[in-house]
Amino acid sequence: MRGHSLLDFGEGGRLERWSDVVLARPDSRAIGRRSLAAEAWNGAGATFEGRVGGDRAGGGGWRAHRPLPDRWPVDHAGLRFLVGCAPSGHTGLFPEQAAHWSWMVEALTSGVTPDVTPDVLNLFAYTGGASVALAAGGARVTHVDTSRPAIGWARENAALNGVSTIRWIHEDARRFVARERRRGRQYDALLLDPPAFGRGPAGDWQLDRDLPGLLESAIALLRPDPAFVLLNVYTGDLDAGDLERLLAWALDGRPDPGAAGPIEADTLALISADGRQLSTGIYARIRSQTPHVSSHTNMA
């Protein structure tokens, strides 16, 4: 089975192969000229018309050019995931995130004894790519998302990979973090991948307004010398330097992190078939060089 391939991009669009299905969809970051002829783009199995993304975008829809299944499996980074034509214009998998998956698993396993199972908190966890990768790497994952359909999709991905150490939480991230703090829960690592805008039971989510407070509160749930903190964002309103400064601010005032490394901040990207780079998102992350991972469990 084939995995994912970025066949071409440019002129505000991207053309991708997902296993045996080719999809075309808009992408405002896909600037420049396309490499492939119009026939390649016109031969896509489906095309998304409208603006990809959240509720503010005004929506859009897929126009199928031939019958397609609701979801189909794709092999990626040694794992298997179900992808499909979601109403948002997404497919249920962000393949560039695999670079984070390997980094997180390495951070969790470096210097940790094999009989210890780390607890990872994954906020805005969507369809579970990171949760599945972390669980497959030996972690217990608390997967939090406000979308019940997304959690159902993530459960299918977990089952497809035979992982069972994921705690599924259908809840607004802000409410969940506040409740965990009242309970005195602690985690060994933290991952946040928030949207620019969203709606949930705790009210509207606005990245610029709500992220600083949530990040600070979530970091307060971490044990001393956590294995890692990773903040990933898909938005054009911030740059990697903004995230680096935000993460440094949120970490300020914690107990001495021991041998924590420097904050890394950069862009994520996909490489097209002809070697060009399509920037997709930004991130800031930090890991401990000597993580102290407790055997305490939050799964009960």
Tokens at 16, concatenated: 């991708």
51 and 151 together in one domain: no
Q: In terms of Cα–Cα distance, which of 89, 105, 81 is closest to 234?
A: 89
Number of H helices and number of E strands within the chain? Answer: 7, 16
DSSP reduced 3-state for 64: strand
- Residue 8 sits at φ, ψ, to 5 deg, of -165, 160
- C-beta separation of 30 from 23 below 8 A: no
Given pLDDT bands bounded at 50, 70 and 90, which one contains residue 291?
low
The CA angle 35-84-144, to the nearest 5 degrees, is 115
Q: What is the mean pLDDT of residues 99-104?
A: 97
The answer, yes or no, to whether residue 290 has pLDDT greater than 80, is: no
117 and 256 together in one domain: yes
The answer, yes or no, to whether residue 256 has pLDDT greater than 70, is: no
209 and 242 together in one domain: yes
User: What's the predicted TM-score (pTM) here?
Assistant: 0.92
58 and 79 together in one domain: yes
111 and 71 together in one domain: no
pLDDT tens readout for residues 225-248:
899 999 999 976 789 999 999 999
Direct distance between the N- and C-terminal alpha carbons of the chain, in angstroms, rounded to an integer: 37
- C-beta separation of 7 from 40 below 8 A: yes
Tokens at 293, concatenated: 């991972």
Question: In which domain, by residue range, is 40 found?
Answer: 4-84
pLDDT tens readout for residues 106-164:
999 886 666 789 999 999 999 999 999 999 999 999 999 999 999 999 999 999 999 99
The answer, yes or no, to whether residue 55 has pLDDT greater than 50, is: no
Q: Which residues pair with 110 in a beta bridge?
A: none
DSSP reduced 3-state for 88: coil
55 and 126 together in one domain: no
In a domain, 199, yes or no: yes
Location of structure tokens 């949760």: 131
Domains of the chain: total: 2
What is the domain-level CATH number for residue 70? 2.60.40.1180
220 and 245 together in one domain: yes
In a domain, 89, yes or no: no
65 and 110 together in one domain: no
Q: What is the mean pLDDT of residues 91-120?
A: 90
How high does pLDDT run on average in the chain? 91
